[in-house]
A and B are shown apart, each in its own frame.
Chain A
Amino acid sequence: MGAEIIRVENITFGYGKAKVLDNVSTSVIDGDFIGIVGPNGSGKSTLLRIFLGLIKPQKGTVRVFDTDIEKFNQWGKIGYIPQKATSFNQGFPATVEEVVSANLYPVVGLAGRIKKTHCEKVDEALQIVGMLEQKKSMVGRLSGGQQQRVFIAKALVSAPRVILMDEPTVGIDQNSEESFYELMGFLNREKGITLVMVTHDIGAIDNRVNRVLCLSGGKLYEHDCAVSRASDIFKEAYGKRDSLPIIHRH
């Protein structure tokens, strides 16, 4: 078993009186490819944002790389691809290179200069996602799938140990989605990057992830098996078997 990258213990979080997460505990282990699933409003994105320290739980503790999240400062180790990654201001006049370079901040620090070696890191990240040729293109003029790859490169440029993604395949076509999962598999297996992904598309992550965290009614159900083999829990989370949101298989 690998080292714990993220550990949350007994966390509770709610909006008003409604508890979205009720005494939830779990961990992200080095090398994991985790899918976080659950119905709308079940707290998937909330849990991810708690992992990132963007939301503070009302109760419980969050540790990242064995450090209390309040004291954690090595943010370059964590990559994040938000739900709105591809719904940014499309008119923003930035090139692919400029967008990816922005995330060199954890590497170069406050008021630090971007040097040639840093530019090589940008090229390397773009090479991995297959977007090196579009380096000088304006990011707003790319397709949704290409923009998604740029945001993955942006996350990769700080050499993260874990990448957290919030519904990363929303708004991209089926072909782009397929190549996205291929890329994720490559990053997880070949580059050893731990992946945590919030998704609605249970069918797509089936057989791709090694662990499934299912949120329902404030509780978290955890599996180390593929989705299709965890149907009892999904039945509990989503209701009747017939209504399970297994979307498609290729």
Chain B
Amino acid sequence: MYEILTNIFNSEIIAILIAAFLPLFLFILPFALFAVYLERKVSAFMQDRLGPMRTGPYGVLQTVADILKLIQKEDIINKDADKKLFNLAPVLVFAGSYAAFAAIPFTSIYIGTSADIGLFFILAISSLVVAGILMSGWASNNKYSLLGAMRSAAQIISYEIPTALVILSVVMITGTLSLNTMSEIQTAYFWNWTIFGGAEWGIQKILLIPFMIVAFVIFYISSLAEVNRTPFDIPEAESELVAGYHTEYSGMKFAIFFLAEYANMFAVSAIAASIFFGGYQSPFGYFGNLIGLEWLIPLEQLFWFTMKGLFFVFVQMWLRWTLPRLRVDQLMTVCWKYLIPYAFVNLIIIGLISLI
């Protein structure tokens, strides 16, 4: 993609800028608008309500109106806040979650960077979010923000471990750290997906299936914790900490936190889809191949990628409106006493199976 752009514009800088902003404007902003609307409609559906209905047909313009309202709002910085850190924090949080999109393959022809260490890059760069959250909590000079930030830091760092362990076990099978290659391997039909043991036939594949499912469940639970969604939303636990680390933020800065949260939601869903569910690959082969239209394939891939991502986003919403919230100590118990040991055992077993 990047090469194509360079050829079109004859300038590397413009190509870099376009490649960097393309997913933001084409994908993440529309997605965030849609996801906020979806979240409100899903919760309304689960709670016997209608949800937004007034702005546009079925309230589809509600989030646009919300964004317009947020842009107009006064940017308040409280008196005792550390101004520099306070302003830097939302940028850092958004940068952390947005940078992860660089290594996520949307289609076979579009990926921000085709670096071979894509997964490693995602794991590393998404930890930047923690720094931003801690910064916002500290700079706000508010006890609730500080408590929320501390909780968040402890939570995200703890849950990186099972995530990394699960990713490691998948890497052992696929033999690559690049999400693009990983998606390419899982081509053709859905039984080639990693969750069904990968593309290679044999006894290995059958043996791997249960352990891959366990790996996926661990990955999904820890990814919920990493994006602070219920039942792990204790950093912003509304009834306890008012709004957690972004209590003091208003206007666009709050909107950026909000955007980062939704971008993060899609990022982890996309990673889950890419690792376990074939990424952009269609589960039944391509329509474009069937009728001989080559250019249709990337569009189909984008469709499947978005659908898979949206499905996991929907599951996140489903869980959010069903489950109560865990307590801080219970959250740590889930991570250190259950997820990490299980992930370790799973890693060893998958390692042994791949030796066969």
Query: Do A and B originate from a single complex?
Result: no
